[in-house]
Amino acid sequence: MIILKSGRDLEAMRPACEVASTVLEEVGAFIQPGVTTREVDDFAAARMREYGAKSAFLGYRKFPRQICISVNEEVVHGLGGPRPLGFGDIVSLDIGVTYHGYIGDTAKTVAVGGCDVRAQRLMDVTEQALYEGIAQALPGNRVVDISRAVQKYVESNGFSVVREFVGHGVGRTVHEEPQVPNFVENEKQSPKLRPGMTLAIEPMVNAGTAQVVIRKDGWTVATKDGQLSAHFEHTVLITEAEPEILTWPAKTPLKLKAG
């Protein structure tokens, strides 16, 4: 069932999304060569606590970390650990927070100190694919219009979209209906977009093959061919007119108080 958010729901959800976007920006700034992925995870947890929020991922389906940290060929669901980040790595940071019963979900891929031209292009194309999809998040369109825009942009730039993992509705739980694929499928069954829907739109884009594998830890998804992957995500509200990006970075420092 697709849950349409009321005005009261959105009053609570907007701050959750603001916390998520703020923590994502802070974690991105914390990234540097030599920092371990576990230190990144711990830092994210500390920042969430500072804002009176908690991880929406920790314990969800038994996920064992605060955020998802996926390095280089890792696509999504990477686990923080003893691995130190090196100059030239690219790191997907996927952050979900729970704040006053609602969830904000957002992600971006950052370079550690800098990266080569191909890695930067992969990140640029993936981020733009996200905005191509968001541009189609209009009332009266269908989910497949978002999917088509993402897929067309990615593939026209010579990259591939992951098919095993998709975007989704989000609200009081991490995953709500509908699913939001980054590729076209089941056009006739694709749900119509209606005001009040809140969607986590999240292209996952590989430099090589679209195929992925799940590593022995049971969580980390990696490209099958070992080539790089990038991931960007926003929580988006369908309105009566243009879409509203709920996880857009705040222009002023967050003033929420813990508790």
Residue 110 covered by a domain: yes
β 54-55/90-99 pair status: antiparallel
- The Cα-based distances of 135 to 44, 99, 219 in angstroms read 30, 27, 31
Residue 252 covered by a domain: no
Please give the order of strands across the beta sheet that includes 229-231.
Answer: 160-161, 204-206, 229-231
Per-residue model confidence as pLDDT tens digits over 183-240: 999 888 999 999 999 999 999 999 999 999 999 999 999 999 999 999 999 999 999 9
- pLDDT at site 257: 53
Q: Which helix (H) or strand (E) holds 49?
A: helix 37-50
- How many helices and strands in the chain, by DSSP H and E? 4, 15
Reduced to 3 states (helix: H, G, I; strand: E, B; else coil), residue 212 is strand
- pLDDT at site 255: 65
And the tokens for 147? Answer: 């999917």
- pLDDT at site 131: 98
Domain count, the chain: 1
Domain of residue 99, residue span? 7-245
Residue 137 covered by a domain: yes
Q: How far apart are the first and last CA of the chain?
A: 32
Residue 17 covered by a domain: yes
- pLDDT at site 259: 44
- The Cα-based distances of 38 to 34, 84, 105, 209 in angstroms read 12, 9, 20, 29
Residue 251 covered by a domain: no
pTM of structure:
0.96
Q: 105: closest CA among 160, 41, 176?
A: 176
Residue 42 covered by a domain: yes
User: Residue 201 in contact with residue 146, Cβ under 8 Å?
Assistant: yes
DSSP letter assigned to residue 85: P
Residue 1 covered by a domain: no
β 212-214/221-223 pair status: antiparallel
Reduced to 3 states (helix: H, G, I; strand: E, B; else coil), residue 189 is helix
In whole angstroms, give the CA distance from residue 37 to residue 71. 9
Reduced to 3 states (helix: H, G, I; strand: E, B; else coil), residue 89 is coil
Q: What is the mean pLDDT of the chain?
A: 96
- pLDDT at site 188: 87
Neighbours of 56 (CB within 10 A): 25
What CATH code is carried by the domain that includes residue 140? Answer: 3.90.230.10
In whole angstroms, give the CA distance from residue 197 to residue 216. 36
pLDDT more than 90, % of the chain: 95
The residues of the chain scoring below 70 in pLDDT are: 252-259
